[in-house]
């Protein structure tokens, strides 16, 4: 438990809101998907966040990764649960991914081992865009984007609310 508190505080120190994002793709994802939903407790409704993101990205086909499972011919969306993280490999699924395939990695900060595995995944050369919220990591294969890693608050911050009000008054 002490590790998770320390990990969460470190996450909060490094996390940005949409105003720290210079990628139009990620900015839109944060403002039109993460902040547009009514999910109040991201920690307990992680699966809802995945479902909202799948809907926003219009991913008609997605599946859960299971150890030993045969991979479909084309991967548009893939959800990797915590228990499968230690056997998951981007190199094994990459031939089946298309431009803008999205991988959802659950419980990335649950343990030191998960954090280590998450770091290896987002640093993989094949991943061009990675987004880290506290319990969920998103990995994208986007040929049109330079490699970037984002640590983001999945909820609107007070600053986001204030800047939104100022923007609408101008």
The predicted-structure confidence for 97-136, as pLDDT tens digits, reads as follows 999 899 999 999 999 999 999 999 999 999 999 999 888 9
Cα–Cα–Cα angle for 85, 91, 96, rounded to 5 degrees? 100
Query: Is residue 18 within 8 Å of 160, Cβ to Cβ?
Result: yes
From the list 86, 76, 128, the residue with the least C-alpha distance to 107 is 86
The SS3 of residue 75 is strand
Q: Mind spelling out the 3-state secondary structure of 132-158?
A: ECCCEEEEECCCCCCCEEEEECCCCCH
What local confidence, expressed as pLDDT, does residue 165 receive?
56
Read off φ and ψ for residue 69, nearest 5 degrees: -75, 140
Enter the pTM of the model: 0.82
Beta pairing, strands 148-151 & 129-132:
parallel
The number of CA neighbours under 13 Å toward the Cβ of 130 is 19
How big, in percent rounded to 5, are the helix, strand and coil portions of the chain? 45, 20, 35
Whether 93 and 74 have beta carbons less than 8 Å apart is answered as no
Encode pLDDT of 7-38 as tens digits: 888 887 787 776 677 788 988 998 888 877 65
Q: pLDDT tens, 136-169? A: 999 999 998 889 999 987 665 555 545 555 654 5
Residue 80's pLDDT band, with cuts at 50, 70 and 90, is very high
Cite the beta strand spans of 53-112 per DSSP E.
62-64, 75-80, 97-106
CB 115: neighbour CB atoms within 10 A?
Answer: 17
Cβ atoms of 77 and 63 closer than 8 Å: yes
Find the farthest-apart pair of alpha carbons in the chain and give their distance in angstroms, rounded.
Answer: 56
């Amino acid at each position: 438990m002490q590790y998770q508190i320390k990990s969460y505080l470190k996450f909060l120190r490094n996390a940005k809101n949409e105003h720290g994002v210079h990628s139009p793709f990620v900015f839109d994802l944060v403002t039109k998907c993460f902040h547009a939903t009514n999910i109040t407790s991201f920690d307990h409704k992680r699966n809802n966040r995945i479902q909202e993101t799948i809907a926003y990205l219009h991913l008609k086909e997605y599946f859960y990764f299971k150890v030993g499972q045969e991979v479909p011919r084309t991967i548009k969306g893939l959800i990797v649960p915590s228990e499968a993280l230690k056997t998951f490999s981007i190199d094994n699924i990459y031939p089946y991914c298309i431009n803008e395939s999205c991988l959802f990695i659950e419980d990335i900060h649950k343990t030191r081992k998960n954090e280590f595995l998450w770091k290896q995944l987002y640093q993989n050369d094949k991943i061009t865009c990675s987004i880290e919220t506290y319990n969920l990591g998103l990995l994208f294969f986007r040929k049109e984007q330079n490699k970037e890693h984002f640590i983001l608050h999945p909820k609107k911050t007070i600053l986001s609310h204030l800047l939104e009000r100022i923007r609408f008054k101008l």
